[in-house]
Structure 1
């Protein structure tokens, strides 16, 4: 599948990306891809090993005469975000990604593309097999489970890597180079809430909110897009006027993706159904008006269900849960006062579910300040304590402190001016690059992050600009060769 990718340029990079598209690799399911890459390394006579967590490192000796050059680590993560449109059945553990070219961009049919971070991985592999490139000692570090927990970076072996500079290939904007990123943590809330049997006069309906754009919960959090959880909770709060009780709820599938869809099953008195339907229709128009120009495909529906559940939340529990969710922290908390235009602190209400009284919430809090992450986590704890829920913080990872005077950055800027003809924008990103974690384990490493232009990451609208991939490849080759020149 995806034979057309090998007709794109640069051909070596796209050939490797085809392998990635054809090999299922959602977070936690990277083993097949790791085995394929190990076999590839052996065929090319390259040393490779894994650390205890399973992260893979492939090594290539320096070009003869460049052994004294500073070693370069090319770094990316193997996993991808698994998101598909609700009406498109796709098993990310078995099915390949189907790609196509559309007006200068590469897209996937109804799913995430995996350009994040498949293109970085493909570029590193292409560098390793480039026999014309003059280079110092090379290491390609491929980490696991970045999208789900940063697990690979968090558990990366110390004293394992040998290089002196690290090129993170997980950025998403041509013409930009990143020197800092936000840290973050998952806030998980859970509770077993009291239920009661249906009343004789109650009927069951399903509310569906679909058609949102979604996106990356860090770099897109300030763009004013709708969050399906926030919007559907708002609708449910309005419907409390009709004595509803929640039966079940599911909204969002990943804590680092802005939820595009949410669904709630509820019970209400039969004689309130008509009024509730009218209210839902009116609320759909209200939400469409508020989000005009951003969410043009927002759809809100209420559908009667025939099967009656055995239990629903009792009236008090339903009301308290909706009240808590309605005021839960969400979105941009603060813009940075030191890095203009950059979000300092935010929170994504990513995954919410209710089933048989079991409530679960997972939010991803991001910040350039670790203290702000802790403060928002404590707000969740204080709020959900009021309904008897348990709150815990997990998968915390540090931010990456900018080093604007870095020699590596100066070198990249010089090469960017030479090859692209313009000065790159030096940026700090409101997302969880692995650089912060890696810097904690290897504090002497100089790092930068750059990549091609990717839009719609973490959603089925993900796409990459083909011309930006060519530019990214040229810059990467030039930088690796320039770093080796110090030993000439």
Structure 2
């Protein structure tokens, strides 16, 4: 599978990426890949070990004469976001990713590609494999469950890593280097809401919102893309005068991906169906105009359900739930003053469900300020307490404070200027790179993050510019060589 990848340059990087594409690796299912990498390390005589959580480290001794150079840690995460188009059956725990080349870009057929962070991992493996690069001591750190919880970084063993310089290979823009990132936390809301039997004149309908592009809930949050949960709740709010009652709801699959689709099963009087259909059609036109040029594929439909449910939420419970969801923070909350053009605080209504009266919400709050993350979480608690729901905050992780005067950054910028005849943009990203967590566990680390050009991460539109991979890997090679002459 994916043999055409080995026709691309640099071959050593694409060969390793082929292994990653052929090995299923959604979050929580990285064990098979870890085993393959350990076998590969054994075959090359490279030392490797795991910490208690299962994070993998592979080590390569310094080349002769560079034993005293500062240790370099190449860091990436092994898991990938599992997203597929609704009409494409794909089992991410069993099926390989099918890749294809389109106009200089590599993409996947109807699924996420896994370039995030597969190409960073492949580049680290390539550095471990190549024997023609002088280098100091190298550790390649491959973490687990980054996409769902930052679990690998949060549970990383302390006093384990030996290096002092960390190269995070999980960025997605060429010509840029990242020196800071947002922190974040998952906000989870749960409630049991009262149900009542359907009455004789009620019928069941399915309200669907589909066709959105989706995207990364940090990098893409400011682009005005549609959030299926936000938009479907807006439609439900519009239908309240038609006496609707919620039966089921499901929207979004990952808290860190902008939801592309959402569906609700409704009960309402037969006499209100015509009015409901008219409102849905009118709202669809409004939404399409609002998202013109951004999410042109939006479709909002109302259809008869295939089966009649026995129960639905009471009208009062439906009203309270829809009102709370409609009022919940979603999207950009505040732009940064210190870092112009960068989102400071945001929230993504990532996953919402209702089944047999059990309501669940998982939102991802991000901020460059940890205090703002905490405040947003408290706003959720205050809002959903009004409908009797319980709120908890999980998987919190700190932001990465920039070090604009670091020697590592200066060396990278000089090499970038020398190779590409241009200074890199020095950036802070509104996304949860693992650097903030790693820096909290290893405060002495100097860190930067860079990578190839990736677009549409966390969605089936994910793609990587093939030429940018060679550029990225070339920079990584010369940086490793340059750091071999640095002083510890």
TM-score (ref. length: structure 2): 0.99
C-alpha displacement at 1:77, in angstroms?
A: 0.1
Counterparts of residues 79-228 of structure 1 (less than 5 Å): 79-228=79-228
Residue 18 (structure 1) aligned with residue 25 (structure 2): no
Deviations 1:24-47 (A, max 9, x none): 000000000000000000000000
Counterpart in the other structure of 1:361:
361
Counterparts of residues 65-464 of structure 1 (less than 5 Å): 65-464=65-464
C-alpha displacement at 1:487, in angstroms?
A: 6.4
C-alpha displacement at 1:64, in angstroms?
A: 1.1
Q: Distance in 1 between matches of 2:382 and 2:67?
A: 57
What root-mean-square deviation, in Å, do the aligned CA atoms of Structure 1 and Structure 2 show? 0.8
* Unmatched 5+ stretches in structure 1: none
Counterparts of residues 19-38 of structure 1 (less than 5 Å): 19-38=19-38
Q: Is the 8 A contact 1:173 1:453 kept in 2?
A: yes
Q: Is the 8 A contact 1:202 1:270 kept in 2?
A: yes
Q: Is the 8 A contact 1:250 1:263 kept in 2?
A: yes
Q: Distance in 2 between matches of 1:308 and 1:34?
A: 47
C-alpha displacement at 1:306, in angstroms?
A: 3.6
Deviations 1:381-428 (A, max 9, x none): 010000000000000000000000000000000000011110000000
Q: Distance in 1 between matches of 2:401 and 2:461?
A: 31
C-alpha displacement at 1:318, in angstroms?
A: 0.5
TM-score (ref. length: structure 1): 0.99
State the secondary structure of the residue aligned to 2:257.
coil
Counterpart in the other structure of 1:477:
477
Q: Is the 8 A contact 1:237 1:322 kept in 2?
A: yes
Deviations 1:109-167 (A, max 9, x none): 00000000000000000000001111111100000000000000000001111111000
Q: Distance in 2 between matches of 1:102 and 1:355?
A: 41
Q: Distance in 1 between matches of 2:150 and 2:90?
A: 24
State the secondary structure of the residue aligned to 2:308.
coil
Deviations 1:209-231 (A, max 9, x none): 00101100001000000000000
State the secondary structure of the residue aligned to 1:113.
coil
Q: Distance in 1 between matches of 2:487 and 2:341?
A: 40
Q: Distance in 1 between matches of 2:438 and 2:202?
A: 55
Deviations 1:420-467 (A, max 9, x none): 110000000000000000001111111000000000000000000011
Q: Is the 8 A contact 1:177 1:448 kept in 2?
A: yes
Q: Distance in 1 between matches of 2:193 and 2:74?
A: 48
Q: Is the 8 A contact 1:66 1:487 kept in 2?
A: no
State the secondary structure of the residue aligned to 1:460.
coil
State the secondary structure of the residue aligned to 1:303.
strand
C-alpha displacement at 1:177, in angstroms?
A: 0.2
State the secondary structure of the residue aligned to 2:393.
strand
C-alpha displacement at 1:305, in angstroms?
A: 1.5
State the secondary structure of the residue aligned to 2:152.
helix
Q: Is the 8 A contact 1:26 1:93 kept in 2?
A: yes
State the secondary structure of the residue aligned to 2:363.
strand
Aligned length: 488
Q: Is the 8 A contact 1:333 1:345 kept in 2?
A: yes
Q: Distance in 2 between matches of 1:141 and 1:295?
A: 38
